[in-house]
Chain A
Amino acid sequence: MKKLLSITAIVAVVLGLTGCKKDSDFLNVQPTTFLTTDQVFSDPNLALTVLADLYNRQEDISSLDGNSNDPGWRSFADFSESFPSENGSSYIVQRTGWPYGQWAIDWSTAYTYIREVNLFLERDSASTQLADADKKRFYAEGRFLRAMYYFELCKRYGGVPLILHSLTLPSKDITTIQFPRAKESDIYDFVISEAEAVKADLPADPATKSRASRAAAVAMECRAALYAASIAKYGASTPAVSLPGGEVGIPASKANDYYTKALNAAKEIIAGTDGAYSLYNNGGNLSDNYANLFIDKASAESIYYEDFKTGGKVHSFTTNDQPYSLSDEGGDAGRLDPSLNLVEQYEKLDNTFAPLATVDGTNNPIYYTNLQDIFAGRDARLAGTVLLPDGLYKGKKVDIWAGYVLGDGSIVTSDEAGHTVALPGTQTKVQVVGTDGPVNGLELRTQSGFYIRKYIDPAVGSGRRGQGSTVAFIRYRYAEVLLNAAEASFELGHPDDAATYMNQVRARAGLTTPLAAGDITFDRIVHERRIELAFEGHILFDMKRWRLAHKVWDGTPTSVTDIKTNLGVAGTHSTQPWGLWPYKVYNPTDPTTNGKWIFRETKPALATGYNKFLFGNYYSQISNDAIAANPKLIRQPNQ
């Protein structure tokens, strides 16, 4: 009994002690597992982590790391600019068009991001603890990211609802948070005005490349204005691709205004107002210089990029696309093979176009002593973008050749790369096909006769799965700004200025004979962007804004004649990727040709589909779910 009494007494005393705490203190316990909004926005390092997350979730149509559904290399592998040498990805060259939903950003992912940026901006401006300088810069960066995201949405969807503050779910009337689509021009106007508004608060510092800088904002403005201008001008050629409310399509009368804005923005960067940027030109071999531009993170040419870092975020672009025979990682290589369609487009050094000479006037093969002779005298960007047969990677030659061709024209080859067979009339087995292919259907080796060189990391171990590559993905660079300026000048009736801008980019690639004002045509503008910006995520949006996509990807098969004619002409169709396969001549009775090389244009056997771009593909489908949830969203045209 006594014991019970004393326990009761102790409990009572303890209760009495704790009971002395105020109720409010007792109930308001600080969480120990997460940081509150006030805590985060009181420390610049914590606020920056929120911003870093937003940076990390930016959208790119092509990116080196990609995601699990669409690994980085595959996001570059379409539109017949390349062949996908991975059996699971053959569908890219076997489909006969794209669904209307292709290239869309998932609607709820998109507006989750927009909401989170809006929340960030609201919390940043409400913060009382952050220093003014930090607060201002964070705010400008948030607005930059939001504008970038709306630009990405607009490229795919046209006009989308422009939501500039966080929304709260209403208790009754859901229609108060259902917003209709803005006009396409409204979104471009928004991107342009946001860039103008925030540029003064961003550092004009060329060393700031993975965070928003003043030049990044202006480069975004420049590209957005150019897109809007060309949609206004060339949209007139496809009246079917528009909506009466302006959600899709921009009136032609606005074109000049947008071109002027694009030109002014470009001029601002070129004048150095936003920091000292210049073309990457470190001398030496011009092709190597061009390839290094994408490797050298300190280059004065890159304005804004997605950065990668060992120990943090790395990507497997090199792992996936390195040459098979020189791979760091057995069983991972060679997936992204540039097509002959693209390779034929590189000019000769005298600014003229000519197909790679495989046959003479009477259709007899031309014999070359060295594998690379056929590519001699071309734009240096060819060997800088594409790893050609006999090209060097990490100081070693790739081994690309398709087999032996005998005196009677028959071919000795194998369906196994690097296989050895005894040639007719001999006993010793010799290698009859390159260890890098090409062999039809043999994945991870080239099937087009080329490997990609752009972004491929020469660093030791960068091709290993575990290590990965840290090469940055450049979103904006100075050469594109120059080409934007050239295009805007040309469209505004100043081909002389256009030539000046374009010649700088061309001279860096070894095309030192300048183009005259009279040489600048729409075809030249289209061609230069295709070459300079190959595999940088531009081709789809460029072809869309010029309304060329339905002509280039017109749904009819591509013949070898199509590949070799109309070079450098905008809108020439290109619906199936072709390859160029080298063969070694074995003809001991004819010493003039024996041991030389001939080339044959070959369509990879797996490329059975063709690209067909419909009017309904110009603007990605807004999903039926999104429309059902918000009936104010009107459907895209032609869908």
Chain B
Amino acid sequence: MKHSIYLFGVLTLAAAAGCKKDNYPAPGSMLTGHLLYKTDTIQVERNQVPFQIYQYGFGKVGPIGSTFSQDGTLSAVLFDGTYKIIVPNGQGPFMWKQTPAGDPDTVNVTLKGNQSVDLQVTPYYMIRNANITISGGTVSATCKLEKIITDANAKDVERVSLYINKDQFVSGGDNIANKDLAAADITDMNNISLSVAVPSMTPTQNYVYARIGLKIAGLEDMIFSPLQKISF
């Protein structure tokens, strides 16, 4: 009879220990960030400009990867800890800081709770004073190109494009109409104008979204003006 009391005790202990779930808590800290040039956000194409987050100290090292959204923001839900963020070489319409060896330099983030991080980069060009209007079924846009990098790393303009789309994703791949202006046809970088007719849409809607994009020679990612909703 004594034995069964012992047994009872052991079982109770086992049951109590078993109450604890054996899986880890989910990551709970939100890391958000912006691609910035000084105070201006860099607008890019969705799903095209990747970033990589590394965390050291846990054996194998590999990046957690994702891409910036089209307004140049990143977000990731992580565990608290110390992380390093990079943008791989050759990605984005901008120059990411590099180490003397030519590797992308890291941005260190110590995450403790939700946190926002600004990623300062130097774009090759910025699209300034973008003004998009509609009149008579034609979307017209004017803007100015500001060349930011003028040293040995400078790159030429390949083309400027105006894109319109039915929804908020507007880029070379996501558009219902577009107009290209090749570099050779640009006479004044301070005064660029483009226009494109709005095609018929099914179902009909009385607005479109528009952005001006700039393709830089030798880079595959375009830089854009902020998204505008054009109602008519």
Q: CB-CB contacts of A530-557 with B at 8 A, as 1s and 0s?
A: 0000000000000000000010001111
B60 at the interface (CB under 8 A from A): yes
B173 at the interface (CB under 8 A from A): yes
| Interface CB pairs A-B, < 8 A, 6 | A96-B47, A614-B220, A624-B63, A628-B60, A629-B60, A638-B88
A637 at the interface (CB under 8 A from B): yes
Show the binding face of B for A, using Cβ within 8 Å: 47-48, 60-63, 88-91, 102, 172-173, 218-220
A96 and B90 within 8 A (CB): no
A612 at the interface (CB under 8 A from B): yes
- Give, as a whole number of angstroms, the nearest-CB distance from B169 to chain A: 11
B173 and A96 within 8 A (CB): yes
B61 and A628 within 8 A (CB): yes
A244 at the interface (CB under 8 A from B): yes
From known contacts A555-B172, A638-B88, infer whether A624 and B220 are also in contact, taking CB-CB under 8 Å. Answer: no
Contacts of B102 in A (CB 8 A): 244
Contacts of B47 in A (CB 8 A): 96
CA–CA, A287 and B178, complex, Å = 42
Contacts of A631 in B (CB 8 A): 61
Q: CB-CB contacts of A226-251 with B at 8 A, as 1s and 0s?
A: 00000000000001100010000000
Q: CB-CB contacts of A603-638 with B at 8 A, as 1s and 0s?
A: 000000010101110000000110111010001011
A550 and B62 within 8 A (CB): no
Interface size on A, residues (CB 8 A): 24
Q: Which residue of B lies closest to A635 (CB)?
A: B88
CA–CA, A244 and B90, complex, Å = 13
Q: Which residue of B lies closest to A634 (CB)?
A: B103
Contacts of B60 in A (CB 8 A): 624-625, 628-629
From known contacts A550-B220, A624-B62, A624-B63, infer whether A638 and B173 are also in contact, taking CB-CB under 8 Å. Answer: no
- Give, as a whole number of angstroms, the nearest-CB distance from A528 to chain B: 29
CA–CA, A638 and B50, complex, Å = 10
CA–CA, A51 and B173, complex, Å = 48
- Give, as a whole number of angstroms, the nearest-CB distance from A234 to chain B: 15
A639 at the interface (CB under 8 A from B): yes
Contacts of B173 in A (CB 8 A): 96, 555-557, 610, 612
A638 and B89 within 8 A (CB): yes
CA–CA, A1 and B62, complex, Å = 76
Most buried by B among A556, A625, A627, A628: A556
CA–CA, A616 and B89, complex, Å = 10
Q: CB-CB contacts of A543-574 with B at 8 A, as 1s and 0s?
A: 00000001000111100000000000000000
- Give, as a whole number of angstroms, the nearest-CB distance from A9 to chain B: 51
- Give, as a whole number of angstroms, the nearest-CB distance from B4 to chain A: 47
From known contacts A240-B218, A610-B173, infer whether A615 and B63 are also in contact, taking CB-CB under 8 Å. Answer: no
A637 and B90 within 8 A (CB): yes
Most buried by A among B48, B61, B90, B102: B90
Q: Which 7 residue pairs are nearest across A and B when measured between Cβ atoms? A: A624-B62, A628-B60, A638-B90, A240-B90, A555-B173, A556-B172, A628-B62
CA–CA, A616 and B61, complex, Å = 21
Instruction: Tell which of A244, A627, A638 touches B62, judged by Cβ atoms closer than 8 Å.
Output: A627
Contacts of A556 in B (CB 8 A): 172-173
A615 and B172 within 8 A (CB): no
Contacts of B172 in A (CB 8 A): 554-556
- Give, as a whole number of angstroms, the nearest-CB distance from A366 to chain B: 27
A239 and B218 within 8 A (CB): yes
From known contacts A556-B173, A610-B173, A638-B90, infer whether A615 and B220 are also in contact, taking CB-CB under 8 Å. Answer: yes
- Give, as a whole number of angstroms, the nearest-CB distance from B94 to chain A: 14
- Give, as a whole number of angstroms, the nearest-CB distance from A241 to chain B: 8
Q: Which residue of B lies closest to A575 (CB)?
A: B173
Q: Which residue of A lies closest to B90 (CB)?
A: A638
B63 and A638 within 8 A (CB): no
CA–CA, A612 and B48, complex, Å = 10
Contacts of B89 in A (CB 8 A): 637-638
Contacts of A616 in B (CB 8 A): 88, 90-91
Q: Which residue of B lies closest to A627 (CB)?
A: B62
Contacts of B48 in A (CB 8 A): 614
Contacts of B219 in A (CB 8 A): 240
